[in-house]
Structure 1
């Protein structure tokens, strides 16, 4: 498993709001399998547009998805 610094994580949020991202690019950014990203798109978890079976994601929606995915430690959930 790779170790990532806080700078690596914050770099994900440097995506401009108007950027158009493809699942392959998001998978590379997150070091995940591209099919996982496509599944998020299909299931509506990651807001996306579908053209001819291909997905695209707007940068603003990607960043909102990532912020929503942030886990809050149980001791902060009061």
Structure 2
């Protein structure tokens, strides 16, 4: 499953991260990230994997499309096991 632009935006919101921060953590250019989230382009699979890895590394879990739509959530909260 590749991360969607909605999951990317939602993940940043959950973590209270700016595009600048996610770009830095994922080693993806801010322009590429901004264009992806705005629906202007679809990055390479490798770039999507970098974004997904960065958000997962911060404690998020991606939920696949299961009839109710793809999503994202915390695996655990601070002080709780992941």
Q: Same fold (TM over 0.5)?
A: no
Q: TM-score, normalised by structure 1?
A: 0.30
Q: TM-score, normalised by structure 2?
A: 0.29
